[in-house]
C-alpha cells in the first residue's frame, strides 16, 4: 500500500514522516495523545474488531462505511510484512485508526501527516478519503517490524524510539527503507525502477549520506533509494543477514556482510543499473509532477 493519489507510492507518507522527524518531534510516551484516543470525547469512532486487530473509523468519514474492505487490506498488509521479515506470526493486537485529514491525524497523534505509526502503542493512524487511499503496507510494516525486531541499532524487540537521537536517526534508511519495500511502488513503476532513474538522473544519495543524513535529504529520494537498498540486501544476501544488520545498526554493514561498505554500495548500484526498462519511469518528472496513475 489503492487509488490514484495513494498509488504515488509513499509520497504522502514520506512528506508527513520526514516533516515530523525534521521538526524534531520525538515525543515521550506520556505525551502521546494516541494513548487516550478511544476515550477522547472530541473523537467519535465506529469500530470493527477482529482477533488480530481493531479498526477505528472516524464517524462520518470515508472509512466508516468501508470497514470490511479495509479489514481485508490490513490483514493482507500484516501477512505481507511477515513474509518479508520471515517471521511466523504477529501476536500483538494492532489498532488502526482511519481519519479524514492530516489535521485529524494530529488530533490523534500530536503530529500532522497522511500516516503515522506509534509502534510503542501498537497503533497506526491513516488518512482515508476518496482521493487518498490509506498506505497500509508502509505503516503496517512499521508496526510489525518495530514490534518484532525493535528499532534499528537499539534494544532488540523494543519498539520505542531510542533515547539516543543519533541511534534513531542513523537507523532511518533501515526503518523507512523496509517500510518502503513493503509497498507496491509507484504503479506501473517499482521502487527499484524509480531509484534506478534517480541514479540515471544524477540524484543518487551515497550510502554514507543515507546513513548519516537520511531525514535531511529530499523525502522521495531518500525513501525510494533506501527502499531499493533494502530490497537489494534482502535479495542478494537474505533475511538473516539483514536482520543482523538491523539489530547492529547501519554502521555495521562491513561486519555483517564481510565486505567494505563501498563494495556493497557498488553492488547495489550495479543492481539498480540492471533494472528492466519496464520498471523505470521515463523520467523523474513523471513521478514528481502528475504522480502515478
Can you give the residue range of the structural domain that contains 273? 163-293
158, part of any domain: no
Domain final position from 116, 149, 182:
149
pLDDT in tens, 265-291: 999 999 999 999 999 999 999 888 755
Q: Are residues 174 and 88 in the same domain?
A: no
Q: Are residues 181 and 283 in the same domain?
A: yes
Q: Are residues 67 and 182 in the same domain?
A: no
Q: Are residues 266 and 180 in the same domain?
A: yes
Q: Are residues 178 and 274 in the same domain?
A: yes
| Residue 62 pLDDT exceeds 80 | yes
Q: Are residues 126 and 26 in the same domain?
A: yes
Q: What percent of the chain has pLDDT over 90?
A: 75
List the single range of 23-32, 71-80, 153-162 with lowest mean pLDDT.
23-32
155, part of any domain: no
Q: Are residues 13 and 83 in the same domain?
A: yes
Instruction: Cell 544524477: give the residue.
Output: 202
- For residues 194-217, average pLDDT: 95
What pLDDT, on the 0 to 100 scale, is given for residue 292? 52
For the ranges 139-148, 216-225, 281-290, the maximum mean pLDDT occurs at 139-148
282, part of any domain: yes
287 contacts 186 by C-beta, under 8 angstroms: yes
Domain final position from 85, 116, 149:
149
Q: Which DSSP string corresponds to 84-153?
A: HHT-S---S-EEEEEESSHHHHHHHHSS-SSEEEEGGGTEEEEE-BTTB---HHHHHHHHHHHHHH-STT
157, part of any domain: no
277, part of any domain: yes
Q: Are residues 197 and 240 in the same domain?
A: yes
Query: Which string of b and e fits 125-141 if b means at least 16 CB within 10 Å?
Result: bbbbbeebbbbbbbbbb
C-alpha span between 214 and 292 (Å, rounded) = 24
- For residues 215-227, average pLDDT: 93
pTM attached to this predicted model: 0.89
Helices H / strands E in the chain, number of each:
13, 5
Q: Are residues 125 and 167 in the same domain?
A: no
Q: Are residues 81 and 215 in the same domain?
A: no
- For residue 132, the cross-strand partners are 129
Domain final position from 149, 183, 212:
149
List the single range of 42-46, 140-144, 182-186, 212-216 with lowest mean pLDDT.
182-186
pLDDT in tens, 7-55: 444 444 443 444 344 333 444 445 678 988 998 888 899 999 999 999 9
275, part of any domain: yes
Q: What's the pLDDT band for 158 if we cut at 50, 70, 90?
A: very high
CATH number at residue 126: 3.30.2010.30
78, part of any domain: yes
Number of domains in the chain: 2
53, part of any domain: yes
Q: Are residues 170 and 288 in the same domain?
A: yes
Q: Are residues 106 and 184 in the same domain?
A: no
Amino acid at each position: 500500500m489503492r487509488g490514484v493519489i495513494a498509488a504515488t507510492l509513499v509520497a504522502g507518507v514520506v512528506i508527513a514522516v520526514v516533516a515530523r522527524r525534521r521538526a524534531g518531534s520525538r515525543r515521550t510516551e506520556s505525551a502521546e495523545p494516541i494513548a487516550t484516543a478511544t476515550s477522547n470525547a472530541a473523537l467519535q469512532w465506529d469500530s470493527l474488531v477482529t482477533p488480530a486487530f481493531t479498526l477505528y473509523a472516524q464517524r462520518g468519514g470515508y472509512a466508516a462505511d468501508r470497514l470490511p474492505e479495509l479489514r481485508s487490506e490490513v490483514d493482507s498488509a500484516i501477512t505481507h510484512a511477515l513474509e518479508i521479515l520471515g517471521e511466523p506470526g504477529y501476536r500483538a493486537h494492532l489498532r488502526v485508526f482511519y481519519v479524514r485529514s492530516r489535521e485529524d491525524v494530529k488530533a490523534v497523534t500530536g503530529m500532522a501527516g497522511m500516516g503515522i505509526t506509534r509502534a510503542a502503542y501498537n497503533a497506526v493512524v491513516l488518512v482515508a478519503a476518496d482521493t487518498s487511499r490509506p498506505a497500509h503496507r508502509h505503516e503496517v510494516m512499521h508496526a510489525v517490524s518495530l514490534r518484532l525486531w525493535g528499532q534499528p541499532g537499539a534494544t532488540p524487540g523494543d519498539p520505542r524510539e531510542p533515547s539516543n537521537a543519533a541511534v534513531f536517526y542513523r537507523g532511518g534508511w533501515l526503518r523507512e527503507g523496509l517500510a518502503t519495500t513493503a509497498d507496491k511502488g509507484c504503479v506501473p513503476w517499482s521502487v527499484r525502477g524509480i531509484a534506478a532513474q534517480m541514479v540515471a538522473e544524477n540524484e543518487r544519495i551515497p550510502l554514507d549520506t543515507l546513513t548519516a543524513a537520511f531525514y535531511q535529504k529530499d523525502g522521495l529520494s531518500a525513501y525510494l533509494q533506501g527502499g531499493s537498498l533494502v530490497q537489494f540486501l534482502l535479495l542478494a544476501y537474505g533475511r538473516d543477514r539483514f536482520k543482523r544488520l538491523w539489530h547492529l545498526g547501519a554502521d555495521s554493514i562491513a561486519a555483517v556482510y564481510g565486505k567494505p561498505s563501498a563494495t556493497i554500495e557498488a553492488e547495489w548500484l550495479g543492481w539498480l543499473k540492471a533494472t528492466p526498462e519496464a520498471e523505470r519511469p521515463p523520467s523523474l518528472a513523471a513521478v514528481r509532477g502528475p504522480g502515478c496513475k
